[in-house]
């Protein structure tokens, strides 16, 4: 499927820092509950992420990631996921997308 640039730019992708990681035993598939700081404009958001194959809680703490921030909240078990953390699916698990240089939290991908 081909989309236009206009369609792509409707998706808000921002830079955030993971500030808290918890196990999520109620999820159907192994996952973590993430709390992510997107800076002063977007604030703190939460996400459920199926990234347990390649990351430990300690690996994720303070990791800078990219996430879609304008999807509607989604209930997963007893948890509300507010953003979609982005990654690449590999045979070994999901590899999170990140950035090559430091930028302010909340910076928008364009």
Q: In this predicted structure, what is the pLDDT of residue 66? A: 98
Distances (CA, A) of 107 to 10, 12, 53, 75: 15, 10, 28, 26
Q: In this predicted structure, what is the pLDDT of residue 110? A: 87
Could you give all domains of the chain from N- to C-terminal order, each with its CATH number? 5-96 (2.40.50.140)
Q: In this predicted structure, what is the pLDDT of residue 6? A: 92
pLDDT tens across the length of the chain (110 residues): 899 999 999 999 999 999 999 999 999 999 999 999 999 999 999 999 999 999 999 999 999 999 999 999 999 999 999 999 999 999 999 999 999 999 999 999 98
Q: In this predicted structure, what is the pLDDT of residue 89? A: 97
Contacts of 40 (CB under 8 A, 6+ apart): 106
Q: In this predicted structure, what is the pLDDT of residue 95? A: 98
């Amino acid at each position: 499927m081909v989309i236009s640039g206009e369609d792509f730019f409707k998706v808000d992708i921002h830079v955030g820092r993971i500030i808290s990681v918890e196990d999520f035993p109620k999820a159907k598939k192994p996952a973590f509950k993430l709390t992510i700081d997107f800076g002063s404009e977007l604030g703190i958001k939460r996400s459920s992420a199926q990234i347990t194959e390649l990351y430990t809680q300690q690996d994720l703490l303070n990791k800078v990631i990219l996430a879609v921030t304008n999807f509607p909240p989604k209930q997963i078990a007893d948890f509300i996921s507010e953003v979609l953390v982005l990654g690449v699916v590999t045979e070994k698990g999901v590899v999170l997308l990140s950035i090559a240089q430091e930028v302010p939290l909340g910076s928008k991908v364009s």
